[in-house]
Amino acid sequence: MNVMRTAMLLAFMTALFMGVGYLIGGSGGMTIAFLIAAGMNLFSYWNADKMVLRMHHAVEVDERNAPEYYGIVRDLAQRAGLPMPKVYLIDNPQPNAFATGRNPQNAAVAATTGLLDRLSYDEVAGVMAHELAHVQNRDTLTMTITATLAGAISMLGNFAFFFGGNRDNNNPLGFIGVLVAMIVAPLAAMLVQMAISRTREYSADRRGAEICGNPLSLASALDKIARNVERIHNPDAERNPASAPLFIINPLSGERMDNLFSTHPNTENRIAALQQMAGSMGGGMSSRTAPRAPETPAAERPAPSGPWGAPSTQAKKPTRPAGKWGRNPTGPKGPAS
């Protein structure tokens, strides 16, 4: 079912891409668009996850430089029966997270420093369990490729604005075709992307609650994230809006209505569903059931490094006090590896 769904999605997006090419340049434009779309589909399958991580300046972390965060993901992956994904950190004060990758064997999860700073241990576990549920449901390939193609269709619409109105080209519908390429096609791509994202969030919430064992922790996390997203700007997401459906909560704005144009279901509805699930589990499990990273004696802990701590060459730079998640990043952002 997931393979069929992905194939149908790619076929629709490819057809839409070709349609825009036809509106801009006739049969020649459609042929060029087909070749571009085929190349993008192939490229997206292998590289879209890396592109998304780079867009948000995600930095890979491990057990040495982010022991507790990494330990949460490791233990949750074991509980879900998943291979250990790569773990990334995004230096951004807005609390949020997403998962990406073409399959569970090549998956990655990413959380912002805002998420780790503002949420409790159990709430972080709930969020990362939600992201691992997307990995287990194989949503990550579909959502990552749709984000890439939706962005490409929007760029093609912008191309139509500058070159589609040339009377010497082969545009069969003239100015009307240009308007369709500029407005209708990007809107259709956005609606498909949003509809897919919204239908998958509820199932990821449910499965994520099962993985972490505490629906109320995930419900509390969703409430905190939604309230903070409304007031904390995410510049990288604003520059790359096609990636918004990947996040657990829409990073562009705090949407309150469950309407056609929302990238995510209404947060209150998601919380209500999790509370109902907790009730069916007997009030939810104790927060002590959330997986915890094993304690390491202080003498054996490695010195903080990488995105969670300043390298020794930067020791003289001022840093914020170390908290339970380790030191916050002070060095420049680096591209995802």
Q: Is residue 178 pLDDT above 90, yes or no? A: no
Residue 43: predicted pLDDT: 73
Residue 275: predicted pLDDT: 95
Domain boundaries, the chain: 2-288
Q: Is residue 317 pLDDT above 90, yes or no? A: no
Q: What is the largest CA-CA distance in the chain?
A: 74
Q: In terms of Cα–Cα distance, which of 103, 131, 133 is closest to 115?
A: 131
Average pLDDT score over the chain: 75
Average the pLDDT over each of 53-67, 249-263, 275-289 and give the range with the smallest value: 249-263
Under DSSP, is residue 170 helix (H, G, I), strand (E, B) or coil? coil
* CA–CA separation, 88 and 123 (whole Å): 18
> Comparing 57 with 324, which gets the higher pLDDT?
57
- Joined together, the tokens standing for residue 272 give 């209500």
Residue 20: predicted pLDDT: 72
Under DSSP, is residue 91 helix (H, G, I), strand (E, B) or coil? coil
Rounded average pLDDT over 118-138: 95
- Joined together, the tokens standing for residue 101 give 């990758």
**Over the stretch 8-49, which tens digit does the pLDDT of each residue have?**
766 777 777 777 777 766 677 677 777 776 776 677 678 778
- In this structure, which amino acid lies at residue 28? G
Q: Is 130 annotated as a binding residue?
A: yes
Q: In terms of Cα–Cα distance, which of 61, 230, 205, 200 is closest to 126?
A: 205
> Comparing 315 with 92, which gets the higher pLDDT?
92
Q: In terms of Cα–Cα distance, which of 99, 83, 2 is closest to 48?
A: 99
Residue 112 in contact with residue 92, Cβ under 8 Å?
yes
63 given a catalytic annotation: no
* CA–CA separation, 77 and 197 (whole Å): 22
Question: How many residues are there in the chain?
Answer: 337
Catalytic residue, chosen from 131, 210, 230, 238, is 131
Q: pTM, whole model, 2 decimals?
A: 0.71
Residue 151 to residues 44, 57, 250, 283, 328, Cα–Cα distance (Å) = 12, 18, 16, 43, 32
> Comparing 49 with 173, which gets the higher pLDDT?
49
Residue 159: predicted pLDDT: 66
Residue 140 in contact with residue 101, Cβ under 8 Å?
yes
Rounded average pLDDT over 160-176: 55
